[in-house]
């Protein structure tokens, strides 16, 4: 079901009636200059987003801006965080649209989505629970343990999101190549066009 949808999205959506017609996905991927612009914008927006997160988290950890209230740092940074995150989502969606089948069967992309989900949940928990008491520790040089744990978890998760994202272009693990059974299972290679292959080079 998912495979059929992704195949249509990559090869059928927007394709013209002529034999040499291309889908929207194929046109996007084949447009070298626009693709490079899209990928470059995604990386720049991600660096800006990660930088703003780093500043706030380091303050919550009591490492930087210790004499400045947490709310002052957060309020000054938040517009940039929201702005950059919007661009990260838009450009990331465009990159995914260009090669949906590739990303779906890529272990690094799947790991990135898991870490991204955990990072977003951490943000929701912080704003929904920990931040409710911020008034009592806003000016503290060293915020309470719960805030520091949230900041440390945030830094760690976003680091993993960035790291796994940068591994995506490398084909160390790819369906149709000899690789461990666990990797084949995680990537769902059995449902891919390339199929799954064990370490002995045998198609399964």
58 with 156, same domain: the answer is yes
pLDDT at 131 over 90: no
138 with 178, same domain: the answer is no
Residue-wise pLDDT for 185-200, tens only, equals 988 888 888 888 888 7
pLDDT band at 155 (very low <50, low <70, confident <90, very high): very high
110 with 196, same domain: the answer is no
pLDDT given for residue 10 in this prediction: 81
CA distances from 168 to 95, 194, 195 (A): 12, 18, 19
Would you call 188 exposed, middle or buried from its count of C-beta atoms within 10 A (0-12, 13-18, 19+)? middle
Average pLDDT over residues 54-70: 92
Would you call 123 exposed, middle or buried from its count of C-beta atoms within 10 A (0-12, 13-18, 19+)? middle
d(CA 172, CA 9) in angstroms, rounded, equals 26
117 with 186, same domain: the answer is no
CA dihedral 41, 45, 46, 51 (to 10 degrees): 150
Least confident stretch, 17-21, 109-113, 170-174, 194-198: 17-21
178 with 155, same domain: the answer is no
d(CA 114, CA 169) in angstroms, rounded, equals 18
pLDDT band at 154 (very low <50, low <70, confident <90, very high): very high
**Domains held by the chain: number:** 2
135 with 158, same domain: the answer is yes
Q: Which of 100, 83, 99 is nearest to 41 (CA)?
A: 83
151 with 175, same domain: the answer is no
Residue-wise pLDDT for 12-26, tens only, equals 787 777 777 788 788
d(CA 52, CA 142) in angstroms, rounded, equals 19
145 with 204, same domain: the answer is no
- Tokens 């719960």 belong to 146
123 with 185, same domain: the answer is no
Which percentage of the chain shows pLDDT scores above 70?
100
Q: Higher pLDDT residue, 35 or 88? A: 88
Least confident stretch, 88-92, 167-171, 186-190, 200-204: 200-204
The pTM score is 0.87
CA end-to-end span of the chain, whole Å?
21
195 with 106, same domain: the answer is no
175 with 158, same domain: the answer is no
- Tokens 């915020």 belong to 143
Give residue 177's domain range.
171-204
195 with 111, same domain: the answer is no
pLDDT given for residue 17 in this prediction: 74
């Amino acid at each position: 079901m998912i495979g059929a949808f992704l195949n249509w999205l990559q090869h059928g959506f927007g394709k013209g009636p002529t034999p040499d017609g291309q889908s929207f996905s194929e046109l996007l991927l084949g447009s070298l200059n626009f693709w490079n612009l899209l990928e470059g914008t995604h990386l720049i927006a991600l660096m800006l987003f990660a930088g703003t997160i780093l500043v706030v988290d380091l303050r919550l950890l009591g490492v930087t801006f210790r004499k400045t209230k947490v709310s002052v740092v957060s309020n000054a940074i938040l517009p940039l965080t929201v702005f950059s995150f919007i661009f990260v989502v838009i450009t990331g969606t465009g990159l995914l649209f260009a090669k949906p089948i590739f990303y779906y069967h890529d272990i690094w992309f799947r790991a990135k989505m898991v870490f991204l989900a955990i990072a977003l949940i951490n943000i929701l928990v912080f704003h929904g629970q920990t931040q409710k008491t911020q008034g009592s520790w806003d000016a503290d040089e060293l915020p309470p343990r719960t805030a520091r744990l949230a900041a440390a978890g945030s830094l760690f998760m976003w680091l993993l999101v960035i790291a796994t994202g940068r591994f995506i272009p490398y084909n160390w693990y790819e369906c149709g190549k000899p690789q461990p059974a666990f990797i084949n299972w995680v990537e769902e290679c059995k449902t891919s066009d390339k199929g799954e292959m064990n370490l002995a080079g045998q198609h399964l």
